[in-house]
Amino acid sequence: MPSETCHCIVLRQASRKVSSYYDEALAPLGVNIGQFSLLRNINRLEPVSLTELAGKVELDRSTVGRNTKVLERMGLVAIGHGEDQREAMLTLTEKGRHLLEKGAPLWDSVQENIEIRLGPEKTKQLLDLLRAL
Amino acid sequence: MPSETCHCIVLRQASRKVSSYYDEALAPLGVNIGQFSLLRNINRLEPVSLTELAGKVELDRSTVGRNTKVLERMGLVAIGHGEDQREAMLTLTEKGRHLLEKGAPLWDSVQENIEIRLGPEKTKQLLDLLRAL
DNA sequence: AGAGAGAGCGGGTATATACCCGTTTTCATG
DNA sequence: CATGAAAACGGGTATATACCCGCTCTCTCT
């Protein structure tokens, strides 16, 4: 017989909670962890199309499209066109690049905090388990 | 130095992925796992006010208010008033109770599937780790 | 009893997320 | 080369989620 508490709900709660840790740390920069992560992925892959980016971050293309539109409005990302006129090619703006630099130590501190609190052993366990789901 | 991959993002991906497992199983009933879980909580606590329910499920009150409004529109939940005219008291309708019965085995199967796939040992590990976050 | 503090809600606003559909563009095949 | 399949996107729709503000109701002092 399965246990009482829904694994999914526990996961979602943890997800919201941990997100808020990162969000608070990044708040001075005006971005949340989802946006910060997206910026880092664009930085790593640029120039990158919406579809490609969506594949990497395992989100729906339309979701990534809307999220990047917010980043564009903030002046952090530029949305242009590649050779293929259908593709929306994403690149970071200077402001976006600058934000990543500013944000790196903030992100590090939360990430490290979690690892210290769990210990290296359990941190690895957790990530392995999450990926096994 | 902290590891490369953002714990938060891994968590969020796992959360979305696992949610989709439950969502697919519950799809025949026309509800998702969030709604199903909310119904179960209302069933357990009814009659319950919005604020109290929000506290139990660790969601913002306004979020719970909007989510229950959807359930009300579906005819699964009744929103009335308690002695305190400010309070919105929630109860399940017959339809809501019926849905919970229909859904129980569907929910069980996903829950059990996950536990079998991970094994009892790792399942417990995972839940402990998630709660330790 | 009146008044102010505080609790409980609803709705506005904004982002996150996914699914579906229609439009544009590309490309392979006949 | 024309045409139809397929890819890439944008926007519509719906839910999830949180924060903030204003309104109403309650309750406790004075």
- Blockwise average pLDDT, block size 10, chain A, 133 residues: 82 96 95 96 94 96 96 95 89 96 95 94 93 90
> Do you find a cis peptide bond into A47, omega within 30 degrees of 0?
yes
Amino acid B60 CA to nucleotide C4 C1' distance, rounded Å: 27
Domain residues of chain B, as ranges?
7-132
Give the angle subtended at the CA of A64 by the CAs of A48 and A32, to the nearest 5°.
105
Pick the CATH number of A18-105 from 3.40.50.300, 1.25.40.10, 1.10.10.10, 1.10.10.60: 1.10.10.10
pLDDT of residue A2: 54
Residue B2 pLDDT exceeds 60: no
pLDDT of residue B3: 66
The reply to whether B70 has its C-beta less than 7 Å from any atom of strand C is no
Alpha-carbon gap, residue A1 to A3, rounded angstroms:
7
Residues with CB under 7 A from strand D: A 12, 16, 20, 49-51, 61-62, 65, 79, 84, 86-89; B 32, 34-35, 59-60, 62-63, 66-67, 70, 73, 83-86
Residue range B7-132, CATH number: 1.10.10.10
- B43-66 mean pLDDT: 95
Q: Enumerate the H helices of chain A as residue ranges.
A: 7-26, 33-45, 50-57, 61-73, 94-118, 120-132
> Count of CB atoms within 10 A of residue B40's CB?
18
Which bases of chain C are contacted by protein, using any atom under 7 A from a CB? 6-12, 14-20, 24-27
Cβ pair B49, B90 in contact under 8 A: yes
Give the angle subtended at the CA of B36 by the CAs of B31 and B41, to the nearest 5°.
155
The reply to whether B67 has its C-beta less than 7 Å from any atom of strand C is no
Amino acid A24 CA to nucleotide D21 C1' distance, rounded Å: 22
